[in-house]
C-alpha cells in the first residue's frame, strides 16, 4: 500500500523533475546529459520575446487577481446568509463559470467582444472625428476581464466556505456593543477572512499566470508566456523551454504551497 | 432597507462582471450557432439549423472524445482509488495534510508545462531511446492514444483522488470495527462497507474528470500530434484557422449540451444512490 502510494507520487513528480534536471543540461540535445550548465536560463532570460511575454503574463495575472479578490470578497459578503432566488441564481452562475470548459469560455468571449467592439468602434469614431478616436481591441483588457471572471468564482467559493464556518456571534457581539457596520467589518470580519482572501489572490494569480486556453482566444495581438511556450514547442523541443518551464513551475509551486498552508492553518483556527 | 441597499452594492460589480463576461458571451455562442458562414470567414446573421446538420463532418473528433474521455476517467479512477484509500485509512495523520497538498498542488500548476514534460519523456529521444538501448527494439509512444491517455491520467489524477479521499475520510470507522468483530474477512468488509459508502466520492470524481476531459485541448494537441484529436482541437481549428464561426459555435453548443446531459444523469443517479452530495473543496 505504502509502496503503491510512493509509486503514484513518483508518477506525479517525476516529469517535473525530469525537465528541471534537463534544463541544467549543457548540451543542446535532450537525449543525453552532457554536463551541468545554467546557460539555458541565461539564454531564456535574455530573450526579449520571453521577457515581453513574461511581463504580459505578470501584468494580466496581477490585475485580474486584484480585481477578483476585491469584487469576489464583496460578492461573498453580499451573499452571506442570503437565501431565495438571488442565491440560486448566484450559485448557478458560479457553477457555470467554473464547470464550462475554458475553451468554450474563450470562444464565447472572443465572439462576444469582437462583435461588441464592431458595434462600439464606429460610434467612438463618430464621437471623436479626425481619426483619433480610441479603438477597442482584444488585448490586455480582454485577457484581464476573462481571467478575472474565473478567479472571482474561485474567491467567492473559498470565502463562502470560510464565512459559513465563521462564528456569527462575534459579529453580533460587535453590533451589540454599538460598533457601526464598517467598524465591525474592519475589526472583526476582515481579520477573520483575510487568510481566505490572500489564498484566493494567490490561486487567482497562479490560474491566470498558467492559463493557456482562454488566453489563446482572447489575447488578440498580445503574447502571454504560456502562448509563447506553446508556439515554441510546435517549432521543436529545446533546453530553453525546459528552463522556462522549470521557472514557471517553481513560481506556481511556491505560490500554491503558501496558499494551501494559509488555507489549511486558517480552517483549523477560525473554522469549525 | 439600508441593509438591502448595501447588499446590492456589494453584489453589483461581480454581478455585472458575470453578466458581461459570462452570460452575454454564452448567449452570443447560442445565437451564432444558428447563423451562417461568410465567404471570407466570419459570421452572417441568419436562423438556420444548417450548422447542426453539418455536425457529422466533425464526427472523428466527437468519437475520439467520447471514447478517450470515459476511458481516461476510468483509468484515473483505478489509479486514484488505492491512493485515496491509503491517504484516508492508512497514512500517518501527522503527514496526511502534507501528502494531500502534494497531490493537489500539481493540478494547479501549468498543464502546458506538465504535458510538455511528457513530450520530452515519450518523445523519440526519451523512453523509446532507452528501450531501444536496452535492446527491446524500437517503439513509438508519442502521438498515440497511449500518450494522450498518459497525459490525461497524469493531468487529472488529483481531481479524482480528492473527492474519493473526502468520502473515505468521512466514513464512520466504527462500521469497519463492527464488521471485523462479527468475523467478516477484510475483503468482505471492504466490498460491503467501504466501497458502497465511497461511491458518492467516486461518482463526483468521475463527473469532474469526465466534464473537464470533454473540453480538453492541450493534452491531445501536445501528445496526440494531430492524429488523436478531441472536440477542443476541432474548435481551435474552426475558430482560429478556418474561421468558420457559425459552425464552431454549433460544435461548442453541442459540447456543452452533452456535458449538461451528463451532469443531469449524474444528479439523478446520485439521488437514486440516496447519496448526500459531496462538497469537495479543490482549493
Residues A164 and A261 in one domain: yes
Top residue of B14, B15, B253 to mutate, by most chain A CBs within 10 Å, is: B14
Taking CB atoms and an 8 Å cutoff, what residues of chain B touch A181?
Answer: 6
Through-space distance between the first and last CA atoms of chain A, rounded to whole angstroms: 32
Which has more confidence, A242 or B138? A242
Closest CB to B245 among A111, A113, A157: A111
Residue whose C-alpha is closest to residue A74's, from A204, A187, A163, A203: A163
Residues A5 and A77 in one domain: no
Q: How far apart are CA A255 and CA A205, in angstroms?
A: 9
Check: CB of residue A159 under 8 Å from CB of residue A72.
yes
Taking the CB of residue A3, how many other CB atoms lie within 10 A of it?
Answer: 7
Check: CB of residue A2 under 8 Å from CB of residue B86.
yes
Give the DSSP per-residue string, B199-249: HHHHHHHHHHHHHHHHT--HHHHHHSTTTS--HHHHHHIIIIIS--HHHHH
Q: How far apart are CA B230 and CA B76, in angstroms?
A: 18
Percent of chain B exceeding pLDDT 70 equals 95
Q: How far apart are CA A162 and CA A271, in angstroms?
A: 7
Angle at B149 between CA B144 and CA B150, to 5 degrees: 95
Q: Is residue A167 part of a domain?
A: yes
Taking CB atoms and an 8 Å cutoff, what residues of chain A touch B125?
Answer: 29-31
Each residue's pLDDT tens digit, B149-167: 999 999 999 999 999 999 9
Does the distance separating the beta carbons of A252 and B109 come in below 8 Å? yes
Residues A18 and A91 in one domain: no
Q: How far apart are CA A61 and CA A59, in angstroms?
A: 6
Residues A110 and A158 in one domain: yes
Residues A186 and A257 in one domain: yes
Q: How far apart are CA A205 and CA A251, in angstroms?
A: 11
Top residue of B25, B26, B99, B133 to mutate, by most chain A CBs within 10 Å, is: B25
Percent of chain B exceeding pLDDT 90 equals 42
Distances (CA, A) of B142 to A12, A30, B22, B253: 19, 15, 36, 31
Domain with residue A261: its CATH number is 1.10.3720.10
Which has more confidence, B149 or B225? B149
Q: Is A243 exposed, middle or buried (0-12, 13-18, 19+ CB in 10 A)?
A: buried
Does the distance separating the beta carbons of B103 and A233 come in below 8 Å? no
Domains and CATH numbers, chain B: 58-272 (1.10.3720.10)
Taking CB atoms and an 8 Å cutoff, what residues of chain B touch A215?
Answer: none
Q: Is residue A146 part of a domain?
A: yes
Can you give the pLDDT at residue B3?
65
Shortest distance between the Cα of A252 and any Cα of chain B, in A, equals 6
Residues A69 and A173 in one domain: yes
Top residue of A63, A104, A189 to mutate, by most chain B CBs within 10 Å, is: A104
Q: Report the SS3 class of residue A222.
A: coil
pLDDT surpassing 90 at residue B264? no
Each residue's pLDDT tens digit, B59-96: 999 999 999 999 999 999 999 999 999 999 988 888 88
- Going by pLDDT thresholds of 50, 70 and 90, the confidence category of residue B283 is very low
pLDDT surpassing 90 at residue B208? no
Can you give the pLDDT at residue B274?
58
The torsion of the CA quartet A233, A238, A244, A246, rounded to 10 degrees, works out to: 110
Does the distance separating the beta carbons of A104 and B256 come in below 8 Å? yes
Closest CB to A75 among B14, B24, B214: B14
Residues A193 and A253 in one domain: yes
Name the grid cell of B146.
Answer: 497511449
Please give the helix or strand (H or E) that residue A189 lies within, else none.
none
Can you give the pLDDT at residue A272?
30
Average pLDDT of chain B to the nearest whole number: 87
Check: CB of residue A147 under 8 Å from CB of residue A62.
no
Residues A52 and A157 in one domain: yes
Helix locations, A100-135, DSSP H:
102-127
Residue whose C-alpha is closest to residue B80's, from B163, B194, B147, B192: B163
Q: Is residue A43 part of a domain?
A: no
Listed as ranges, residues in chain A with pLDDT below 50 are 268-272
Each residue's pLDDT tens digit, B210-222: 988 999 999 999 9
Q: Report the SS3 class of residue B185.
A: coil
Residues A179 and A234 in one domain: yes
Residue whose C-alpha is closest to residue A208's, from A138, A159, A150: A150
Phi, psi of B37 (to 5 degrees): -85, 140
Q: How far apart are CA B226 and CA B222, in angstroms?
A: 8
Can you give the pLDDT at residue A271?
36
Residue whose C-alpha is closest to residue A226's, from A201, A251, A203, A202: A251
Residues A54 and A95 in one domain: yes
Check: CB of residue B177 under 8 Å from CB of residue B103.
no
Residues A14 and A90 in one domain: no
Residues A5 and A107 in one domain: no
Q: Is residue A58 part of a domain?
A: yes
Q: How far apart are CA A70 and CA B103, in angstroms?
A: 29
Q: Report the SS3 class of residue B44.
A: strand
Can you give the pLDDT at residue B2?
60
Name the grid cell of A186.
Answer: 474592519
Give the DSSP per-residue string, B242-269: S--HHHHHHHHHHHHHHHHHHHHHHHHH
Q: How far apart are CA A52 and CA A58, in angstroms?
A: 10
* Residue of chain A minimizing CA distance to B13: A71
Residue with cell 491517504: B87
- Going by pLDDT thresholds of 50, 70 and 90, the confidence category of residue B282 is low
Taking the CB of residue B241, how many other CB atoms lie within 10 A of it?
Answer: 9
What single-letter DSSP state applies at residue B36?
E
Which has more confidence, B176 or A29? B176
Each residue's pLDDT tens digit, B99-119: 988 898 888 888 899 999 998
Q: Report the SS3 class of residue A193.
A: helix
Can you give the pLDDT at residue B41?
73
Can you give the pLDDT at residue A65?
97
Question: What's the total number of domains in chain A?
Answer: 2
Containing structural domain, residue A137: 48-270
- Going by pLDDT thresholds of 50, 70 and 90, the confidence category of residue B278 is very low
Amino acid at each position: 500500500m505504502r509502496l503503491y502510494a510512493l509509486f503514484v507520487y513518483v508518477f506525479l513528480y517525476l516529469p517535473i523533475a525530469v525537465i528541471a534536471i534537463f534544463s541544467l543540461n549543457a548540451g543542446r540535445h535532450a537525449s543525453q546529459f552532457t554536463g551541468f550548465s545554467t546557460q539555458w536560463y541565461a539564454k531564456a532570460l535574455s530573450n526579449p520575446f520571453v521577457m515581453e511575454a513574461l511581463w504580459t503574463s505578470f501584468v494580466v495575472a496581477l490585475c485580474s487577481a486584484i480585481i477578483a479578490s476585491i469584487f469576489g470578497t464583496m460578492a461573498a459578503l453580499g451573499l452571506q446568509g442570503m437565501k431565495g432566488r438571488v442565491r440560486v441564481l448566484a450559485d448557478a452562475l458560479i457553477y457555470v463559470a467554473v464547470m464550462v470548459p475554458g475553451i468554450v469560455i474563450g470562444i464565447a468571449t472572443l465572439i462576444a467582444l469582437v462583435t461588441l467592439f464592431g458595434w462600439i468602434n464606429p460610434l467612438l469614431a463618430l464621437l471623436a472625428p479626425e481619426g483619433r478616436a480610441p479603438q477597442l481591441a482584444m488585448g490586455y483588457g480582454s485577457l484581464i476581464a476573462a481571467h478575472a471572471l474565473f478567479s472571482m468564482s474561485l474567491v467567492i467559493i473559498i470565502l463562502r466556505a470560510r464565512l459559513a464556518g465563521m462564528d456569527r456571534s462575534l459579529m453580533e457581539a460587535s453590533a451589540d456593543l454599538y460598533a457601526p457596520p464598517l467598524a465591525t467589518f474592519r475589526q472583526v470580519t476582515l481579520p477573520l477572512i483575510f487568510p481566505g482572501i490572500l489564498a484566493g489572490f494567490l490561486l487567482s494569480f497562479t490560474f491566470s499566470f498558467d492559463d493557456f486556453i482562454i488566453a489563446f482566444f482572447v489575447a488578440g495581438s498580445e503574447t502571454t508566456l504560456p502562448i509563447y511556450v506553446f508556439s515554441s514547442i510546435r517549432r521543436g523541443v529545446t533546453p530553453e523551454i525546459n528552463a522556462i518551464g522549470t521557472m514557471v513551475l517553481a513560481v506556481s509551486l511556491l505560490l500554491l504551497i503558501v496558499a494551501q498552508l494559509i488555507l489549511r492553518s486558517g480552517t483549523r483556527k477560525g473554522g469549525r | 432597507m439600508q441593509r438591502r441597499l448595501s447588499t446590492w452594492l456589494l453584489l453589483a460589480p461581480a454581478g455585472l462582471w458575470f453578466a458581461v463576461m459570462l452570460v452575454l458571451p454564452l448567449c452570443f455562442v447560442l445565437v451564432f450557432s444558428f447563423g451562417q458562414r461568410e465567404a471570407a470567414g466570419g459570421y452572417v446573421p441568419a436562423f438556420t439549423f444548417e450548422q447542426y446538420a453539418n455536425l457529422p463532418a466533425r464526427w472523428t473528433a466527437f468519437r475520439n472524445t467520447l471514447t478517450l474521455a470515459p476511458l481516461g476517467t476510468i483509468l484515473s479512477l483505478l489509479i486514484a482509488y488505492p491512493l485515496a484509500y491509503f491517504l484516508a485509512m492508512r497514512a500517518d495523520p501527522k503527514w496526511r495534510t502534507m501528502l494531500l497538498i502534494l497531490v493537489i498542488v500539481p493540478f494547479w500548476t501549468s498543464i502546458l508545462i506538465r504535458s510538455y514534460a511528457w513530450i520530452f519523456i515519450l518523445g523519440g529521444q526519451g523512453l523509446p531511446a532507452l528501450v531501444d538501448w536496452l535492446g527491446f527494439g524500437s517503439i513509438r509512444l508519442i502521438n498515440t492514444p497511449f500518450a494522450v491517455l498518459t497525459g490525461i491520467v497524469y493531468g487529472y489524477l488529483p481531481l479524482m483522488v480528492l473527492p474519493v479521499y473526502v468520502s473515505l475520510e468521512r466514513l464512520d470507522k466504527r462500521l469497519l470495527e463492527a464488521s471485523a468483530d462479527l468475523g467478516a474477512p477484510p475483503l468482505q468488509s471492504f466490498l460491503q462497507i467501504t466501497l458502497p459508502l465511497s461511491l458518492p466520492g467516486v461518482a463526483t470524481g468521475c463527473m469532474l474528470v469526465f466534464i473537464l476531459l470533454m473540453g480538453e485541448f492541450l493534452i491531445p494537441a501536445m501528445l496526440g500530434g494531430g492524429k488523436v484529436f478531441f472536440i477542443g482541437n476541432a474548435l481551435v481549428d474552426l475558430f482560429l484557422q478556418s474561421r468558420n464561426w457559425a459552425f464552431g459555435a454549433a460544435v461548442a453548443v453541442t459540447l456543452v449540451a452533452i456535458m449538461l446531459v451528463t451532469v443531469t444523469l449524474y444528479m439523478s443517479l446520485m439521488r437514486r444512490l440516496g447519496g448526500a452530495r459531496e462538497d469537495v473543496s479543490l482549493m
